[in-house]
Amino acid sequence: MTGYSLSRFLEECGNAAADNEVPADTVLRLAVPMQRLLSVAADFLKPSHLRSDPSHYARNLVYAAEDGSLSLFALVWTPVHDHGSWGIVGVHEGVLEERAYMRVDADPLPDRNHGIALQRGGLVLLSPDSVTTFVPNPDHIHVTGVPEDRPRAVSLHLYGRMMDRFYAYDVAAGTRELIAAPHFES
C-alpha cells in the first residue's frame, strides 16, 4: 500500500487500543493494518531487528509505547508460552509454524503454576503476509518457530502491553513459570 508506514500503523494501533476495551474488537480492527505493515516491513526492519540466537529464541524490539500500552517485536522462534494480552502476529519472511496447546486440567485455575496438563492442539503454517490474532481469557498457549531444516521466519508481534514477561510452560513436567522476556533493543 503506497504511503503506508510504521508510524501510520502505530498511530492506528494507539487509536484502536484507546477506543476498544474488548481485546477481540481491538485485534479485529488491527488485523488488516498488520497486513498492510507487512507489505512495507522491508522499509523499516533493520539488521538489528533480525538478530537470532541458535540456542534460544530471539525477540527484537521494534517499538515500545512510552506508557507501556503497546509493544512491537520481530521474533525468530519461541518456547511454549502464553501472553496475558491480546496480540496480532504478521509474517514478514519465511513460513512460521504455530503449534497450539490446550489446558486439559481438571481444575484449570489461571493462577496455578503446577499440575498443569497441556494437550497438543492443531498446527498452522503462516506464509509471508499472513496475519493471526489472539485474545486472553483463556490465554492462547502455543509455540512458534521453524524446524532447523527450514529457512528462518521473521514475524512481527504486536501486543496490548509491554511484553516483558510471560508464562513459559514445561509440558512434560506440567508446570509453568513467569519469566522475564528479554529482548534486543534496536
pLDDT tens for each residue of 21-73: 899 999 999 999 999 999 999 999 998 888 876 556 678 899 999 999 999 99
Q: Domains of the chain: which residue ranges?
A: 6-180
Cβ-based burial of 1 (10 A; exposed 0-12, middle 13-18, buried ≥19): exposed
pLDDT for 88 equals 94
pLDDT for 54 equals 59
Q: Taking Cα atoms as reference points, which of 163, 6, 162 lies closest to residue 92?
A: 6
Instruction: Provide mean pLDDT across the span 130-149.
Output: 85
Q: Which range is least confidently modeled, 51-60, 79-88, 97-106?
A: 51-60
Q: List all residues 6 or more positions away from 92 whose beta carbon is below 8 Å from its beta carbon.
A: 38, 41, 42, 45, 74, 128, 154, 155, 156
Asked whether the predicted pLDDT for residue 99 surpasses 60, the reply is yes
pLDDT for 33 equals 96
pLDDT for 114 equals 86
Does 6-180 carry CATH code 2.40.170.20? no
Asked whether the predicted pLDDT for residue 152 surpasses 90, the reply is no
Q: Which long-range contacts (CB under 8 A, 24 or more apart) does 43-49 make?
A: 43/5, 43/6, 44/5, 44/6, 45/74, 45/92, 45/154, 46/186, 48/184, 48/186, 49/74, 49/154, 49/186
143: pLDDT confidence band, cut at 50, 70 and 90?
A: confident
CA 12 to chain centre: 18
Any idea which residue has 481444575 for its cell? 107
Q: Taking Cα atoms as reference points, which of 56, 6, 67, 65 lies closest to residue 181?
A: 56
